[in-house]
């Protein structure tokens, strides 16, 4: 009897699982972004969904229920933004440069992907239908038109964290008094000058985005989805499509980013890409297991490559590492590194999260990317940051304030400086202790973030876009949202009443004066 009940329960569970056709859009060519998004694709297919993905990257491993539409050749991101420039200058630490970098990269990668022959052939097909569109939320707004083409709800994934326009898409105006702009490293306690600068930068971002950048994305959408306009009439604007997003899954966590106003459609899923640890390759496992004084892991991520750094910096790093008692695992992308010390292991590819989870890892030297930052927090590993551009400076400074990290700039590195920073983090146990406290906070969630992501995707399809999640505030102008129209009427009424009172008083005064003259 027990066996029969078990079989019935399993049968009910199986029939309760829905299988959907999902269109997954990854127009940006950032390799680290793709490494995160791959986990969502894998999870969707493992749950029985059919996934079609427009991407510049091959998945690289067998995957059932998965179809690739490759953007090939990929956008030449390393030619447009040379690594030599990034390694040798501080220009990417400029707030205004970073803003325009995002807009330029967004427009160029959006066009490059839509112009691709494979994507063009896909666009021309009229035999496809999808239940859900999932897109990376990274400055490719014209691609939201795919959701309109297939009349499907859309869920986006912000790989880099929050931005003000995500709030607006869900019906919130970001309170600039205590929520800093995405590229600033401020906390929620800003002094007057920081608040003034935050308002200035956020206003500049809003104005240029609304009146230049989004209109340019709109032109792209009309250019490449023109046939759709002939079939159905005028296309929705990119601004309207942004407001139609059902849920935004955001790579953020309150241990690193301070709390901010939210809506049901804004969901924190930091750590969704972190999967259970796998065994390390035998040689790497042995190298780390036998590290009597601990292991330091050094990686500059998937985009920045250690093999491209200036030779003198590379030499300085090797000299410092050679003098350490600790062993070092260095993600280095070529075989041409010479004079490697015995205590250093070079790996072209490294299973980062599995390495950071090893009990002997005592320090992570990182560029400060969002994914590696969350992996170090998840595993409780103190981190020495070398930020270069984008959100890396913000991530580094927030981690420093949290007490488990330190920060140096790559261009400032000398053997003495690097050696002192490493020894400070190894010998001062407060960093290690604080990192373990951060790990406890980071892991303490009500539900697994990948499971929550899958729930919201399924929920959006089941409820046909879940329009009940959306506040009507998305349809209000700034004047209406801030009640400036109501305040204006109140002020006008008060002014009119004051004028009437003044007029009455003047008339009485004149009458009294007239009587006095007669007397």
Task: Over range 225-242, report the average pLDDT.
Answer: 90
- Average confidence score pLDDT of the chain: 88
Residues in contact with 414: Cβ distance below 8 Å, sequence separation at least 6, in sequence order: 316
Would you tell me how many other CB atoms lie within 10 Å of the CB of residue 432? Answer: 17
* pLDDT at 338 (0 to 100): 82
d(CA 221, CA 96): 26
Write down the pTM of the prediction.
0.88
d(CA 433, CA 215): 50
Q: Which two tokens stand for residue 201?
A: 């930068």
Chain-centre distance for alpha carbon 343 = 35
Task: Over range 128-152, report the average pLDDT.
Answer: 94
d(CA 390, CA 257): 16
Percent of the chain past pLDDT 70, that is, above it, reads 92
Closest CA to 361 of 287, 471, 250, 264: 287
Give yes or no for residue 40 having a pLDDT over 60: yes
Among 69-83, 151-165, 433-447, which stretch is predicted with the lowest mean pLDDT? Answer: 69-83
Residue 349: pLDDT band (50, 70, 90) is confident
């Amino acid at each position: 009897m027990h066996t029969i009940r078990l079989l019935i329960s399993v049968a009910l569970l199986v029939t309760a699982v829905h299988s959907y056709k999902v269109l997954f859009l990854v127009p940006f060519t950032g390799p680290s972004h793709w490494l995160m998004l791959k986990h969502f694709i894998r999870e969707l297919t493992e749950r029985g969904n059919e996934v079609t993905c427009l991407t510049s990257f091959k998945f690289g491993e067998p995957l059932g229920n998965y179809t690739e539409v490759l953007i090939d050749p990929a956008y030449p991101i390393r030619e447009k933004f040379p690594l030599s420039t990034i390694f040798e200058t501080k220009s990417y630490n400029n707030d205004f440069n970073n803003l325009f970098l995002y807009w330029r990269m967004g427009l160029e990668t959006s066009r490059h992907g839509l112009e691709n022959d494979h994507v063009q052939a896909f666009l021309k097909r009229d035999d496809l239908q999808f239940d859900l569109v999932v897109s990376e939320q990274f400055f490719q707004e014209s691609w939201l038109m795919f959701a309109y083409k297939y009349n499907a709800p859309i869920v986006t994934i912000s790989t880099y964290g929050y931005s003000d326009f995500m709030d607006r898409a869900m019906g919130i105006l970001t309170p600039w008094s205590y929520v800093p702009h995405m590229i600033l490293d401020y906390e929620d306690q800003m002094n007057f000058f920081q608040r003034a600068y935050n308002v200035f930068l956020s206003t500049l971002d809003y104005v240029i985005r609304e009146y230049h950048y989004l209109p340019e994305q709109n032109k792209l959408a009309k250019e490449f989805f023109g046939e759709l306009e002939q079939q159905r009439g005028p296309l929705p604007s990119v601004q309207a499509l942004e407001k139609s997003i059902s849920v935004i899954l955001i790579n953020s966590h309150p241990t690193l980013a301070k709390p901010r106003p939210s809506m049901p459609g804004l969901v924190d899923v930091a750590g969704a890409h972190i999967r259970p640890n796998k065994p390390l390759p035998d040689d790497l496992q042995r190298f780390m297991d036998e590290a009597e004084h601990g292991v330091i892991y050094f990686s500059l991520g998937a985009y920045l490559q250690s093999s491209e750094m200036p030779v003198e910096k590379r030499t300085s790093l090797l000299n410092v590492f050679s003098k350490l008692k600790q062993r070092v695992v260095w993600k280095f992308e070529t075989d041409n590194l010479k004079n490697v010390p015995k205590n250093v292991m070079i790996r072209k590819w490294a299973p980062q999260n599995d390495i950071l989870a090893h009990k002997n890892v005592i320090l992570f030297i990182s560029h400060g990317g969002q994914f590696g930052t969350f992996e170090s927090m998840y595993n409780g590993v103190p981190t020495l940051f070398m930020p270069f551009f984008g959100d890396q400076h913000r991530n580094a400074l927030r981690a420093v304030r949290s007490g488990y990290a330190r920060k140096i700039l790559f261009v400032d590195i000398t053997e003495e400086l690097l050696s002192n920073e490493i020894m400070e983090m190894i010998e001062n146990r407060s960093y290690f202790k604080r990192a373990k406290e951060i790990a406890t906070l980071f892991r303490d969630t009500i539900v697994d973030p990948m499971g929550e992501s899958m729930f919201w995707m399924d929920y959006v399809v089941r409820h046909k876009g879940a329009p009940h999640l959306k506040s009507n505030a998305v349809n209000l102008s700034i004047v209406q949202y801030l009640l400036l129209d109501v305040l204006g009427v109140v002020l006008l009424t008060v002014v009119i009443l004051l004028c009437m009172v003044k007029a009455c008083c003047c008339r009485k005064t004149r009458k009294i004066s007239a009587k006095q003259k007669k007397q």
